[in-house]
Amino acid sequence: ESLLPAIMELADDKQWRVRLAIIEHIPLIAQQLGVGYFDEKLLTLCISWLGDQVYSIREAATGTIKSLTEIFGVEWAREHILPRLLKYQENRSYLRRMTLFFAFT
Protein backbone atom coordinates (compact mmCIF):
# COMPACT_ATOMS: atom_id res chain seq x y z
CA GLU A 1 0.00 0.00 0.00
CA SER A 2 2.85 2.38 0.74
CA LEU A 3 4.25 1.65 -2.71
CA LEU A 4 1.19 3.00 -4.50
CA PRO A 5 2.35 6.65 -4.79
CA ALA A 6 5.70 5.54 -6.21
CA ILE A 7 4.00 3.19 -8.67
CA MET A 8 1.65 5.92 -9.83
CA GLU A 9 4.50 8.37 -10.29
CA LEU A 10 6.71 5.93 -12.18
CA ALA A 11 3.80 4.75 -14.31
CA ASP A 12 3.68 8.20 -15.91
CA ASP A 13 7.43 8.62 -16.30
CA LYS A 14 8.63 10.16 -19.56
CA GLN A 15 11.10 7.32 -20.08
CA TRP A 16 9.25 4.37 -21.58
CA ARG A 17 11.71 1.89 -20.09
CA VAL A 18 10.75 3.04 -16.60
CA ARG A 19 7.07 2.53 -17.43
CA LEU A 20 7.94 -0.88 -18.87
CA ALA A 21 9.65 -1.93 -15.64
CA ILE A 22 6.55 -0.99 -13.66
CA ILE A 23 4.26 -2.86 -16.05
CA GLU A 24 6.34 -6.01 -15.76
CA HIS A 25 5.99 -5.97 -11.97
CA ILE A 26 2.24 -5.33 -11.86
CA PRO A 27 1.20 -9.04 -11.77
CA LEU A 28 3.36 -9.67 -8.71
CA ILE A 29 2.10 -6.49 -7.04
CA ALA A 30 -1.50 -7.43 -7.87
CA GLN A 31 -1.03 -10.87 -6.37
CA GLN A 32 0.31 -9.33 -3.16
CA LEU A 33 -2.39 -6.65 -2.89
CA GLY A 34 -5.37 -8.81 -3.74
CA VAL A 35 -8.16 -8.36 -6.23
CA GLY A 36 -10.20 -5.74 -4.33
CA TYR A 37 -7.36 -3.33 -3.76
CA PHE A 38 -6.01 -3.88 -7.27
CA ASP A 39 -9.40 -3.14 -8.87
CA GLU A 40 -9.76 0.01 -6.83
CA LYS A 41 -6.26 1.45 -7.24
CA LEU A 42 -4.44 -0.03 -10.24
CA LEU A 43 -6.85 -1.51 -12.79
CA THR A 44 -7.51 1.79 -14.57
CA LEU A 45 -3.77 2.41 -14.78
CA CYS A 46 -3.18 -1.00 -16.37
CA ILE A 47 -5.88 -0.43 -18.96
CA SER A 48 -4.48 3.02 -19.76
CA TRP A 49 -1.17 1.45 -20.82
CA LEU A 50 -2.98 -0.11 -23.77
CA GLY A 51 -3.21 3.39 -25.22
CA ASP A 52 0.43 4.33 -24.69
CA GLN A 53 2.34 5.95 -27.56
CA VAL A 54 5.12 3.34 -27.33
CA TYR A 55 4.48 -0.08 -28.87
CA SER A 56 6.61 -1.89 -26.28
CA ILE A 57 4.41 -0.49 -23.52
CA ARG A 58 1.21 -1.55 -25.28
CA GLU A 59 2.66 -5.01 -25.90
CA ALA A 60 3.73 -5.39 -22.26
CA ALA A 61 0.29 -4.21 -21.14
CA THR A 62 -1.38 -7.02 -23.09
CA GLY A 63 0.96 -9.50 -21.41
CA THR A 64 0.11 -8.02 -18.03
CA ILE A 65 -3.60 -8.38 -18.71
CA LYS A 66 -3.03 -12.03 -19.59
CA SER A 67 -1.11 -12.55 -16.34
CA LEU A 68 -3.80 -10.78 -14.32
CA THR A 69 -6.41 -13.05 -15.88
CA GLU A 70 -4.39 -16.07 -14.80
CA ILE A 71 -4.08 -14.66 -11.27
CA PHE A 72 -7.64 -13.42 -10.71
CA GLY A 73 -9.53 -15.75 -13.04
CA VAL A 74 -11.54 -15.61 -16.23
CA GLU A 75 -14.72 -14.44 -14.50
CA TRP A 76 -12.86 -11.45 -13.06
CA ALA A 77 -11.47 -10.61 -16.51
CA ARG A 78 -14.90 -10.95 -18.09
CA GLU A 79 -16.39 -8.59 -15.54
CA HIS A 80 -13.59 -6.02 -15.13
CA ILE A 81 -11.33 -6.15 -18.19
CA LEU A 82 -13.55 -7.03 -21.14
CA PRO A 83 -15.92 -4.02 -20.89
CA ARG A 84 -12.96 -1.64 -20.77
CA LEU A 85 -11.21 -3.34 -23.67
CA LEU A 86 -14.26 -3.15 -25.87
CA LYS A 87 -14.07 0.64 -25.73
CA TYR A 88 -10.91 0.41 -27.82
CA GLN A 89 -12.85 -0.97 -30.79
CA GLU A 90 -14.22 2.52 -31.37
CA ASN A 91 -10.80 4.21 -31.26
CA ARG A 92 -9.86 6.14 -34.40
CA SER A 93 -6.30 4.82 -34.31
CA TYR A 94 -5.88 1.48 -36.01
CA LEU A 95 -2.88 0.86 -33.72
CA ARG A 96 -5.11 1.05 -30.66
CA ARG A 97 -7.65 -1.25 -32.30
CA MET A 98 -4.87 -3.72 -33.08
CA THR A 99 -3.80 -3.57 -29.44
CA LEU A 100 -7.32 -4.65 -28.55
CA PHE A 101 -6.89 -7.63 -30.85
CA PHE A 102 -3.56 -8.53 -29.22
CA ALA A 103 -5.13 -8.26 -25.76
CA PHE A 104 -7.71 -10.87 -26.74
CA THR A 105 -5.17 -13.35 -28.06
User: pLDDT value at position 90?
Assistant: 72
pLDDT per 10-residue tile (average), the chain, 105 residues? 85 94 95 92 91 90 92 93 77 65 60
Q: How far apart are the first and last CA of the chain?
A: 31
H, E, C per residue of the chain: CCCHHHHHHHHCCCCHHHHHHHHHHHHHHHHHHCHHHHHHHCHHHHHHHHHCCCHHHHHHHHHHHHHHHHHHCHHHHHHHHHHHHHHHHHCCCHHHHHHHHHHHC
| Model pTM score | 0.82
